[in-house]
Structure 1
Amino acid sequence: MKRLFKTSVLISSVVGVVLFTACNNTQQKSSGLEDKHIPQQDSTYACPMHPEVTGKKGDICHKCGMELVAATDENENRVEVELITEPQSIEAGTSTKLTFAFKENDRNVPLDISHERKVHLMIVDENLTWFRHIHPLEQADSTYVVSETFPYGGKYILFADHKPQGVGPTVDKKVITVKGNPNSVKVDLTPNFVSVIDGYTVTLENGDDLKTIRTQALEISVERNKKRLAEKDIEPYLGATAHIAMIGKEDIDFLHIHPTTDKRFPIYAETHIENPGIYRIWVEFQTYGKVHTADFTVNVLQGNEEYQEGGHNHH
């Protein structure tokens, strides 16, 4: 996640203390950085995914649905994430206890709720063929615990999305190795924009037009029994119409995307992809109390810099 801007304050002192006027309080160094930060009484709040969207405390980004955070150096993440697995040696097909501790100065720090949970844990295998989105539960010692059974041997990548109090949302990535036989299913990463799950046909309508360097839409339609669904036909899930995770095959670049409202599509989001290549996309949506997970494979092409619109995702 890119660092939000910092505001520097220029103070000049003589024999006494001289207070400058408000115009001096907004003067900035050309670098945009300062060793010391003097907090302002009225901080500017911005979206961590779309910094061009600003407002006041408690406002929601109209593009991605994330809560705006104070645009100060307090948002720089200083929290370390520790993971303990029980048993330490993980075997495929055996339940494993995962314990996460979010620490600053060797002390567990409190987390804020973000999209109805304090920790969103997304797990994929190294071939991006297996995906899980689960939520560790908070314990009395402020650690977070969940159990998972890994289906086959190999490496798995764990993304822990969390928001320490006073800090912007961030994602921690860890890699674990699971013993056992590897997946026998052949990996197929051919671009695919249609997913059929639980009787629903889910289509990424603009899947063949994704490019880097520009903010663009993910336009997703949902059909059941030859009838196209509207947003009202989908139940809220984790505080939004759906949940979207997008992961790059080459560098395992992770994008956590929150849909917003659009009259044309029941699931719609805006994203900014930095690197070209093959990506896997998982879309979770809920109907009649059940969560369905559709998946796509896309080939993101290098965009034209002249088309750049700015913005970034929560990595």
Structure 2
Amino acid sequence: MKNIKNTLLGLTVAVTTLTACNKAANKDNNAEMNTEQHANPDQIYACPMHPEVTGAKGDKCSKCGMELQAVNKEAAAEIAVKISTTPAVIEAGKSTNLTIAVTDGLKPISLEEAHEMKMHLLLVSEDLSWFNHIHPQEQKDGTYTVSETFPSGGNYLLFTDYKPVGLAGAVDMQKVEVKGTTVTSKMDYKPKLVAEVDGYKMTLLNGADFKTNSSQDLQFSVEKNGKKLQESDFENYLGAKAHIVMIGKEDKDFLHIHPISDKRFPIYAQTHIKKAGVYRMWAQFQVGGKLHTADFTVNVEEGAKGTEENHSGHQH
């Protein structure tokens, strides 16, 4: 089998997520943080689901309310993600087996479940026109395997989303080349805020308002046959009402978001987008045991500096 070179992002790229952690009792995602000081100021604590939220021991995540956990930065720095394929040369239209090992440099390490899976694998074509979200299964030797059939020749990006036991979650990105006929991209990257999939019409209501330097609401409505769906119409998919992935067109910045529902929107979340530019977005929801994937394109403008929300002095 052939090891694939990690070409673009480092091992410890932080994943931005929003989730209904601890049942998200405070649905405006502004859970109070405990700011009690502790004796060891050098120890870093981070949210298991939102590693960008850090603080002191006893603090709670400002986004989901989970208690922050100690982060072993030295251990995290030793972790590597290795991907190999069978066959070694990937061909479009043919099934390829992907084997993923998350190691400490010597052997596979143990992973924790996050949203009901120990590993999420997000695959996109380099032009962001094609997307898939799959879940490699753990093997006896500690590696994870899954099969995928890539639709055409060209470059693809593989985002491995995982959480080592006792450490913060991370996302690794690698690029693979797929042999075969290359389809000329028809992506124009113009804003697309309404998607129709499997008879459902999904609208990103505030998609024209996204800016950097502040928290952004993601407000969705979903209709079928002219009737708006309510929270009760959606089934939990991997422990959330929906799953949303955003990837930047230029730098391939990655955000993995887990929405909740509130009284206004059946699918609702907040996120913080750090870089301006064009982003592709995929929203997945489940109704009647069937998974549906809607795609959007949004343009994020540069927001005014100094508008960031400051939930606590411990947040960085």
Fold conserved (TM > 0.5)?
Answer: yes
Q: Pick closer, same or farther for the CA change 1:185–1:45 going to 2, 3 Å.
A: closer
Partner of 1:288: 288
State the Cα RMSD in Å.
Answer: 2.8
CA distance in 2, matches of 1:200, 1:68: 37
Give the aligned residue type for 1:262: D
Larger radius of gyration: 1
Equivalences for 1:108-147 in 2 at 5 Å?
A: 108-147=108-147
Post-superposition shift, 1:231?
Answer: 1.2
The alpha carbon displacement at 1:105 in A equals 3.3
- Any residues of structure 2 matched to 1:233-248 within 5 Å, and which? 233-248=233-248
- For the Cα contact (< 8 Å) 1:47–1:68, is it kept in 2? no
| Rounded Cα–Cα distance in structure 1 between residues aligned with 2:224 and 2:215 | 30
2:39 corresponds to 1:26: yes
- Runs of 4 or more consecutive aligned structure 1 residues displaced over 2 Å after TM superposition: 23-28, 43-50, 52-57, 61-65, 71-78
Distance 2:130 2:14 in 1: 29
Aligned positions of 1:1-315 closer than 5 A: 1=13, 26=39, 28=41, 48-49=50-51, 51=53, 63=63, 68-73=67-72, 76-309=76-309
Distance 1:52 1:44 in 2: 4
Shift of 1:123: 0.2
Relative to 1, partners in 2 of residues 1:173 and 1:27: Cα closer, same or farther, differing over 3 Å?
closer
Is residue 46–residue 52 contact of structure 1 (8 Å, CA) maintained in 2?
A: no
CA contact (8 A) 1:79 1:102 kept: yes
Deviations 1:122-164 (A, max 9, x none): 0000110000000001100010000000000100000000011
- The alpha carbon displacement at 1:309 in A equals 1.7
Query: Amino acid of the residue matched to residue 260 of structure 1?
Result: I
Amino acid at match of 1:211: K
* CA separation of 1:44 and 1:111: change in aligned 2, threshold 3 A: closer
Query: TM-score normalized by structure 1?
Result: 0.81
Alpha-carbon distance between aligned partners in 2 of 1:293 and 1:25, rounded to the nearest angstrom: 45
**Residue 2 of structure 1: how far off its partner (Å):** 5.8
Residue 76 of structure 1 and its aligned partner are, at CA, apart by: 3.9
Give the Cα–Cα distance (whole angstroms) in 1 for the partners of residues 166 and 247 of structure 2. Answer: 27
| Distance in structure 1 (CA, Å) of the matches to 2:37 and 2:129 | 55
What is the CA distance between 1:225 and its match in structure 2?
Answer: 1.3
Identity of aligned residues (%): 47
User: Deviations for 1:36-89, whole angstroms, at most 9, x for unmatched residues?
Assistant: x6x9xxx786752562798869x8x57458x55414335845310000011111
1:46–1:55: 8 Å Cα contact kept in structure 2?
A: no
Q: Is the 8 A contact 2:280 2:296 kept in 1?
A: yes
Q: Measure, in 2, the Cα distance between the counterparts of 1:47 and 1:95.
A: 32
Distance 1:151 1:175 in 2: 16
| Contact 1:82/1:101, CA 8 A, preserved across alignment | yes
For 2:118 and 2:170, the matched residues in 1 are separated by 12
Question: Judging changes above 3 Å, is the alpha-carbon distance between structure 1 residues 93 and 299 closer, same or farther for their aligned structure 2 residues?
Answer: same
Conserved 8 A contact 1:69-1:168? no
Pick 1 or 2: higher relative contact order, CA cutoff 8 A, min separation 6.
2
- Whole-Å Cα distance in 2 between the matches of residues 232 and 301 of structure 1? 34
CA deviation digits over 1:258-283, x for unaligned, max 9?
11232110111111001111100000
Change (3 A) 1:178 1:310: farther
